[in-house]
Amino acid sequence: ARKIILDCDPGHDDAVAILLALGSEKIDLLGITTIGGNQTLHKVTYNALAVLEEVKERTIPVAAGCASPLVRELEVAASVHGDTGLDGVDLPKPSRTVIDKHAVDFIIDTIMEHEPGTITLVPTGPLTNIAMAVRKEPMIVERVKEVVLMGGGVHVGNWSAVAEFNIKVDPEAAHVVFHAPWQVTMVGLDLTHQALCTPARQRDIESIGTPTAKFVSQLMDFFRKAYAQNQGFVDPPVHDPCTVAYLIDPNVMTVRKAPIDVETHGDLTLGMTVADLRAPAPADCHTQYAEKLDVDRFWQLIHESIENIGEGM
């Protein structure tokens, strides 16, 4: 199984990414690290613990990370995730708390304790924790198998005309991550906007009939309303699980190698991920982005994970 650390800011779609990972035997979720993003660090950390509690998962370590971006002030996405960061569901009270190690140290220690090339980092929020880990222990760059992140986009934005939220909240951190010489797969909005939770997909999930299925459906009810009101979508795109789906089955999406850089100064373009598509990617290109999603396969993976979770881990 693919050993991953999920660095997230739950967040409705982050919650689905957690469940997709938990329910797949192809994924060995070594730990969850949290980052201020969709909501404040305290709220998203509570949410991560509560999602695990919801499926009776009480062993996977959860480590809290950075409260705000490297340089800028934190900007949350309450318009889409609500005041709690996971509005629309009654969350169970977590029966445990975070480990006493900071997320940045958890990331570094886990990578340094495992054989080189075995750990995959899966960031689905702002990239502050990942950038801090690279700066504190540069050795992790060569030891990590790869980074598969939800963020950015090629010619598409959701937090400005051209920038995606996770990148725009902390562009300096994103710049560090995209420039470190490791393999980065950017699962951006051009891909994730294909992962729409239509009523039919939601009904298919709910038909599984377990409390977890109901929980996910309730999350989607809120997410649909928030996305319709604030982003003008008919159905909400579930961004974050696309990263985990790619690790379960790489055929679930096509990827294209291209040099990708991050705008950290522009007025109109701050946080834009700029892919250079003018020529074939150079041989040593270490960045690629996801283009086309096999939508049915994606939702099949989600369905299977929720079924596998059954009445709880």
- Note whether 123 binds Ca ion by CB under 5 A: no
Work out what residue 126 binds among Ca ion, ligand PIR, none; the CB cut-off runs from 5 to 8 Å by kind: none
Interface stretch with ligand PIR, choices 8-16, 54-62, 171-179, 244-252 (CB under 6 A): 8-16
Among 14, 57, 87, 263, binds ligand PIR (CB under 6 A): 14
Identify the burial level of 283 via C-beta atoms within 10 angstroms of its C-beta, where 0-12 means exposed, 13-18 middle and 19 or more buried.
Answer: exposed
Residues 261, 266, 272, 278: is their CA dihedral positive or negative?
negative
| Residue 170 binds which entry of Ca ion, ligand PIR, none, CB below 5-8 Å type-dependent | none
Site string for ligand PIR, 196-235 (x = CB under 6 A): -----------------------------------x----
d(CA 68, CA 83): 17
Report the partner that residue 288 touches, choosing among Ca ion, ligand PIR, none (CB closer than 5 to 8 A by kind): none
Residue 231 and residue 158 in contact, taking contact as beta carbons nearer than 8 Å: yes
Closest to Ca ion by CB, 17 or 270: 17
| Distance (Å) of CA 119 to CA 29, 59, 247, 254 | 10, 19, 12, 22
Taking the complex as a whole, the smallest distance from the CB of residue 75 to ligand PIR amounts, in Å, to 10
* Site residues (CB under 6 A) for ligand PIR, limited to 145-164: 150, 158, 164
- Find where tokens 């049915």 sit: 296
**How many whole angstroms separate alpha carbon 70 and alpha carbon 169?**
10
Residue 164 contact, options ligand PIR, Ca ion, none, Cβ 5-8 Å cut-off depending on partner type: ligand PIR
- Active site (annotated) includes residue 239: yes
Type of residue found at 273: T
Using Cβ positions, the residue closest to ligand PIR within the complex turns out to be 165
| Nearest-approach distance from CB 193 to ligand PIR, in angstroms | 10
Instruction: Residue count of the chain, please give it.
Output: 313
d(CA 62, CA 100) in angstroms, rounded, equals: 9
**Binding status of residue 165 toward ligand PIR by CB under 6 A:** yes
Per the DSSP assignment, residues forming a β-bridge with 6 are 32, 122
Q: Which stretch binds Ca ion (CB under 5 A): 42-50, 73-81, 116-124, 261-269?
A: 116-124
d(CA 253, CA 243): 10
Catalytic residues, by residue number, are 239
